[in-house]
Amino acid sequence: MSSNAATAVVQAELTKIRTVRSTVVPLLITPVVSIGIGILNGASARSAIDSGNDPLLADFDPVEAGFVGIEMGQLAMISFAVLLVCTEYGSGMIRTSLAAVPHRGLFYLSKIVAAAAVALLVAVPTALLSFFAAQAALGPHGIGLSHPGALRAVLGACLYLTLMCLFALGLAMMLRSTALALSLSFTFVFVLSPVASVIPALRTVARYLPEHAGAQAMKGDPALSPVTALLVVAAWAAAALLAGHLTLRSRDT
C-alpha cells in the first residue's frame, strides 16, 4: 500500500529542485563548464596540430576531443545530486518530507525519477553544445555529427552524465553529508580512475571504474564497446542507489 499518489510526489520533488539555489546553480554550471572547457581544449588542440605536434597528432581523436569539457562538467552534475539530497538532511527538512511522504520507497523513487529527468534535460543540450563548440574551436580539424561514432558518442555523453548523477544520488542518500558524498564521488572521478589507469597491473580493473568506463562511451575508438561501457556505469549507479535505499530503510531520520 502506498501513502501518496506517485505523480504528486514526483511533482513535489521537481518543485524542490527548481526552487532552491543549491540545485539550480550546479545545473546551470554543468553546460557552462562543459562547453567552456570544450572550446578551450579544442582551440589548444588546433594550435598544437597546426604547429605540427606529431605525438599529439598520432592519437588525436576528434570525437573524444568533443567531450573533454564533459569530464569537468560532470563534477557540477555530481554536485547537483549530492546537494539535492544532503541539504535536505543537513537542514532537517527531510523530516518534513518523510512526514508528508511516509512511504520511504515511494519518496526515494520519486526523487530518483525527478533527478534523472532533470539531469537528462540538462545533459542533452550540454552534450550537443559541447560537441559542436569543441569542433568549431578545432577549426579545419573538427568533425560533424555524421562522422563515424560522433552521434553515438553524443548519446553516450547524455546517458553518462545522467548515470553519474544517479550514482552520486545513491552515495549521497547513503552518506547524508555533503562533504562525505562529494569527497567519495570526486575520489572516483579524480583519484581512483587516473591512479588505476597508470598502474599496469590495475589497467584492466580501471576500465570498469565508472569514470573510465564512461570515457570509453565518448570516444571514437573505444577499448570497451560503448554499450558495455554504459552498462558498467549503470551498474555502478544501480549499486549506489541500492546502498542508498538500504540506508533510508534501516536508519531513523
Partner 1 sequence: MCRGTAARQPAVVIELRQLTKRYRDTVAIDGLTFTVRPGRVTGFLGPNGAGKSTTMRMMLGLERPDEGDVRYHGKAYHELYEPLRHVGALLEAKALQNSRTAYNHLLWLARTNRIGRARVHEVLAMVGLESVSSRRTGGFSLGMGQRLGIAAALLGDPEVLLLDEPVNGLDPEGVRWIRTLLQGLAGEGRTVLVSSHLMSEMAITAEHLVVIGRGRLLADTSTDDFIADNCRPRVLVRTSEPDRLLGVLDHAGLTACQEEPGTVVVDGTGTEQVGRIAAEAGLVLGELATRTASLEDAFLRLTGDAAEYRSEAFTGGNRHVL
The nearest distance, CB 109 to partner 1, in angstroms, is: 14
The nearest distance, CB 102 to partner 1, in angstroms, is: 4
**Per CB under 8 A, 28 contacts partner 1:** no
For partner 1, the closer CB: 40 or 98 = 98
Report the site for partner 1 in 234-253 (rule: CB under 8 A): 252-253
**Per CB under 8 A, 21 contacts partner 1:** yes
Q: What radius of gyration, in Å, describes the C-alpha atoms of the chain? A: 19
**Per CB under 8 A, 46 contacts partner 1:** no
The site string for partner 1 over 86-125 (x = CB under 8 A, - otherwise) reads -xx--xxx-xxxxxxxxx----------------------
Give the separation between CA 25 and CA 106, rounded to whole angstroms: 27
For partner 1, the closer CB: 172 or 189 = 172
**Per CB under 8 A, 12 contacts partner 1:** yes
**Per CB under 8 A, 81 contacts partner 1:** no
Burial 18-32 (b: 16+ CB within 10 A, else e): eebebbeebbebbbe
Cα 101 to Cα 8, 11, 85, 105, 106: the distances in Å are 10, 13, 15, 10, 8
Amino acid present at 231: L
Using the contact rule CB under 8 A, the part of the chain among 19-27, 54-62, 115-123, 182-190 near partner 1 is 19-27
Name the residues that contact partner 1, by CB under 8 A. 1, 3-5, 8-9, 11-13, 15-16, 19-22, 87-88, 91-93, 95-103, 252-253
